[in-house]
Amino acid sequence: MADANAISDHWGQGDIYALILETMKSAGIDPKSATIEQLAPVDHFHARGFPATVELADALPVREGDRIVDIGCGIGGPARYLANRFRCQVDGIDITAPFVDAASKLSALVGMEETVKFRNGDGQQLPYSGEAFDGGYTQHVTMNVPDRDLFFAEAFRVLKPGAFFALTEHGLGEIGSPYHPVPWSKDGSGAYLMRPADTVAVLERTGFKDFEVTETGDKYLQGYKAAIALAEKGEAPVFGSHILLGNLAPQIVRNAARNIEERRTQPVQIICYKPLEPRGDQR
């Protein structure tokens, strides 16, 4: 990624794991007996959090024993959920080192260090061999990816023929020019939003086929408004993903909602597949 260090620093610095443990204790959760269900409010660190992960998982053809890659895994909540639900192996990679450290420690905390593995790395240079995975996904990562061709080409390379690839993102809306700060950028730097149709075009150019595109804006808007309402009542949960957004969390959530309402962003879920047969010569 362009200016990878800046993007990494935007998402997380310092001891993220220590912050999570401290907040867990403040919320009355004992780390020694914590479950993935108790971790869910904070460790699905993407728009709509845990409900969005469940919704995506419901649409994925994951089988027991599959090996799945999570590109931009954050602190590992989705990887742990899929591994537990489908009895599969998940490899997560993320550009933000403090997230990877927290992801590994949280997996150990809930006894899943053997089924979920994490490493620090760039989605544009995946450290995996070709055709290694039965499926892959990336949740709200591509907004920070300047070279979609390379990013999707790497995903295509590491997937087996017939494997699925899924992504969720805030696409660029009809109006464009989102208000900032938003989760992926404080001021617009490091943000590379594309219209959903253009994202699909890049995926097609890469070689993926059989697209299922679902607009999710209404669900995201409802989620943001619910969070805003709780905050206004002073009822925001102690343990939630807002702790990772810092002091700008209230403004970030309001802008995220406003951007959808004004059609400046367009959240979508895209599922596609790597063909069983190799592509012919396209020169």
Q: What is the pLDDT of residues 25-76, one digit of tens each?
A: 999 999 999 999 999 999 998 878 899 999 999 999 999 999 999 999 999 9
Q: How far is CA 275 from CA 134, 160, 163, 255, 267, in A?
A: 12, 9, 8, 39, 26
CB atoms within 10 A of CB 88: 20
The rounded distance, in Å, linking the Cα atoms of 242 and 248 is: 9
Please tell me the predicted confidence (pLDDT) of residue 282.
40
pTM of the complete model beyond 0.85: yes
Q: Transcribe 173-211 into DSSP letters.
A: -SS----S-BTTBSSSTT-----HHHHHHHHHHHT-EEE
Computed over its alpha carbons, how large is the radius of gyration of the chain? Answer: 18
Tell me the per-residue pLDDT of 8-18, one tens digit each, with 9 for 90 and over: 555 556 799 99
What single string gives the DSSP state of each residue in 131-152? T-EEEEEEES-GGG-S-HHHHH
Percent of residues in the chain assigned helix, strand, coil, to nearest 5: 45, 20, 35
216: left (phi over 0), alpha (psi -120 to 50) or beta: alpha
Q: Provide the β-strand partners of residue 68.
A: 90, 135
Just give the CATH number of 4-273: 3.40.50.150
Paired strand residues for 170: 267
State the distance between the two ends of the chain, measured CA to CA, in whole angstroms. 28
Mean pLDDT within 108-128? 96
Kindly give, in sequence order, each residue whose CB lies less than 8 Å from that of residue 39, ignoring residues fewer than 6 positions away: 77, 80, 106, 110
pLDDT at 281: 43
Mean pLDDT of the chain: 92
